[in-house]
Amino acid sequence: MVTSTETRTDTGIAVNGPAVDRQDEILTPDALAFVAALHRAFAPRRQELLQLRQERRVKIANGVDPGFLPETQAVREDFSWSVATLAPGLEDRRVEITGPCDRKMTINALNSGAKCWMADLEDSSTPNWHNVIDSQVNLRDAIERRIDFTSEQGKEYQLKGETLTDLPTIIVRPRGWHLAELHVRVDGVPVAGSLVDFGLHFFHNARRLIELGRGPYFYLPKLESHLEARLWNDVFVMAQDLLGIPQGTIRATVLIETITAAFEMEEILYELRHHSSGLNAGRWDYIFSVIKNFRERGPRFVLPDRDQVTMTAPFMRAYTELLVRTCHRRSASAIGGMAAFIPSRKDPEANAIALEKVRADKTREADDGFDGSWVAHPDLVPVAMAVFDETLGGLPNQIEKQREDVVPNAAALLDVAATPGEITEAGIRKNLEVGVRYIESWLRGNGAAAINNLMEDAATAEISRSQIWQWINAEATTGDGRTVTHGWVERLLKDEFDRMERFEGDRFDDALSVFAECALGEAYPTFLTIPAYTRFLANGD
C-alpha cells in the first residue's frame, strides 16, 4: 500500500500525495519502476526540447516568422513513405467524444454511440493527485467492464454492450511535455506528467487491450516540433520493449495545436510513422498558440473577440486544409476539431440555433475531407454522426480524398490579419468572466467547466487570458475606438468579479489571483496551468 507520503530510497522513487482510494492498484512497485525507467531514459532530452521551445519563441518575438524547415525538405518530398496501417478500432473514427475520466463521464462517453472516446488526462482534467489516480482506476475498470456509478439522486450508470469492442475505442490523452508531476519524483527529480499518465495506463492496460481486440492508443498534445514527436516515438519503442509487446502496437494521433507544429506536420507523421494513426486539428489550442507566439509582434497578429475567430478565418482554413492534405497523402486519418456546445433542455429555441451551427461546422469538415470530428457532449453525437454518415456512406473513412488542390503556403498560415471582426467591450468582459470562472472550477478539481452553454477547458481559458494580455500590450483598440488599457481592464475585471455568485468552498479569490498574474502581469507565463498547479495543487491536493 502506497501511503500519503512514501519515499522508496532503495529504488530512488518517491511518491508524495494525499491518499486516494485504490491507489495501491495503480502505484504498484512494478508500475512505478516502469515509469522510473522511462523518466531516467528521457528526462534530459525532454528538458532540452523545452529549452528549444523557449529559444524558438524568442526568435519569433524578434521578428523571425516560422516556416517550413529546409533541413527536412527531403522528408516532405519523399513520396515513398506512409504511416502504419489502421489499427483495430481506428479504421472508422467519424465521431469521437472527448472528456475527463471521472467515473460518470467515463460511462456516459462509452455509452454515447460515438466511434471513439478521447479519454482526457490533459486539458479537461485538473491534474490534482486524486484525479491523476482516479482516472487510471476508471480506465482499468472500464476496460475490464467492472465500472458503474450511482449519483447522489440515486441514478445508476452502467456500460452498455457485452464486450469492449461494442464500445467506442478508447484513446488516452496524457499531459503535455511541459507539465511536471510534482507528486512523483525519481532520484529527486519530478517526473513529467506525460510519462506518468502514459506509463501507468500502458503498464496496466496494454496487454489487456490487445487481448480484447483493441490496443494501447494515445492522443499526443501540445507538440511544437517533429523532434518532440521523435521523443514520443522513442518512448513508445522502449515501453514496448520493456513489456515484451511487439513494436508498432501503439498508435498515436498527434494534435496539431501549435503554430510551429503546423509547419512540421509531415515530419511529425514521419517520426511516428510506425506508431502513427493520424493528426487532429486542435482548434482552440491552435488559436492560443498563435496569440502566445506573436503576442509582441504588433497589429499584424492581433485577433478580434474570441467568438469571431471561427474556422472560416483564412489562417484557420489554411491550417485545416493542409492537415487533411498532409494526412491523406501519408495514409493517415485526419480528425477535425471540437464542437463545444452543451445543449440545454430548458431552451429548445437556442438549442436549435446552436445545433444548426454544429451541423454546419461538421459539414464543412466532412466536405474538406476530414475522416471524423470531435464533440464534447453525448447529445451532439447523433448530429455529427448524421453529417459524416451522409458523406462517407458505407466507407469507414475518406483517406482516398487526397486534396491535391491544397498547396502548402507559409504566408497563408500566418495571415492572421485577414481575420474579420473587431474587439468589443463585451468580448473583453467575456474573456474576463470565462477566464476567472474556468480557473475557479479547475482549482476545485473540475477541468471541464460548463460556462454559458459551452464546455470550456484549459485551452479556451488560455485564449481568454492571452487575448487580454496581448490587447493591453499591443494597445489595441475596440471597434468603437477605445484603447484597451491596463487600468480599463482592471476596472472591468473588478466589475465582472463582483457579479460572480459565491458559494461555500469556492476558489474565486485564488482564481482571480491566477488570472490577474497570467493576463495582467508584466511577465507572460507560458501556460496558466503551471502557476496554478505549483501554487495551489502541488501542496496537499
| pLDDT confidence band for 350 (50 / 70 / 90) | confident
Average pLDDT, rounded, for the chain:
96
C-alpha cell at position 390? 451522409
pTM for this prediction: 0.97
C-alpha cell at position 198? 502514459
30 annotated active-site: no
Three-class secondary structure of residue 269 per DSSP: helix
User: What does the chain come to in residues?
Assistant: 541
Q: Where do the DSSP E strands lie in 214-270?
A: 217-220, 251-256
Q: Which string of DSSP letters, residue by residue, matches 289-322?
A: HHHHHTTTS-GGG----GGG--TTSHHHHHHHHH
Alpha helices in 301-424, H assignment, sequence order: 314-329, 348-368, 381-392, 410-413
Three-class secondary structure of residue 83 per DSSP: coil
pLDDT of the residue at 14: 97
Q: Measure the CA–CA gap between 392 and 372, rounded to whole angstroms.
A: 10
Of 324, 304, 309, the residue nearest 478 (C-alpha): 304
Q: Measure the CA–CA gap between 524 and 419, rounded to whole angstroms.
A: 24
Q: What is the largest CA-CA distance in the chain?
A: 66
145 annotated active-site: no
pLDDT of the residue at 504: 97
| Residue 459 neighbours by CB under 8 Å, 6+ apart | 123, 257, 282, 284, 285, 288
State the catalytic residue, choosing from 457, 465, 507, 541.
457
Three-class secondary structure of residue 483 per DSSP: strand
Report yes or no: 212 and 44 within 8 Å, Cβ to Cβ: no
Contacts 24+ apart (CB under 8 A), 394-400: 396/91, 396/92, 396/94, 397/86, 397/91, 397/92, 397/93, 397/94, 397/333, 397/371, 397/372, 398/369, 398/370, 398/371, 399/327, 399/328, 399/331, 399/332, 399/333, 399/371, 400/328
Report yes or no: 369 and 287 within 8 Å, Cβ to Cβ: no
Residues 442-467 pLDDT 10s = 999 999 999 998 999 999 999 999 99
Residues 251-291 pLDDT 10s = 999 999 999 999 999 999 999 999 999 999 999 999 999 99
Strand partners, 118: 98, 171
Give how far the C-alpha of residue 206 lies from the chain's centroid of Cα atoms, to the nearest Å: 22
Q: Measure the CA–CA gap between 515 and 199, rounded to whole angstroms.
A: 32
Residue with cell 480599463: 488
Give how far the C-alpha of residue 83 lies from the chain's centroid of Cα atoms, to the nearest Å: 22
pLDDT of the residue at 345: 76
- pLDDT of 2 higher than 90: no
Pair type for strands 180-186 and 189-192: antiparallel
pLDDT of the residue at 8: 57
Mean pLDDT across 378-404: 97
pLDDT of the residue at 538: 59
Query: Cα–Cα distances in Å, from 484 out to 310, 431, 460, 470, 488?
Result: 22, 13, 21, 10, 7
C-alpha cell at position 163? 464486450
State the catalytic residue, choosing from 173, 185, 283, 329.
173
Residues 129-148 pLDDT 10s = 999 999 999 999 999 999 99
Quote the Cα angle for 108-110-116, to 5°: 130
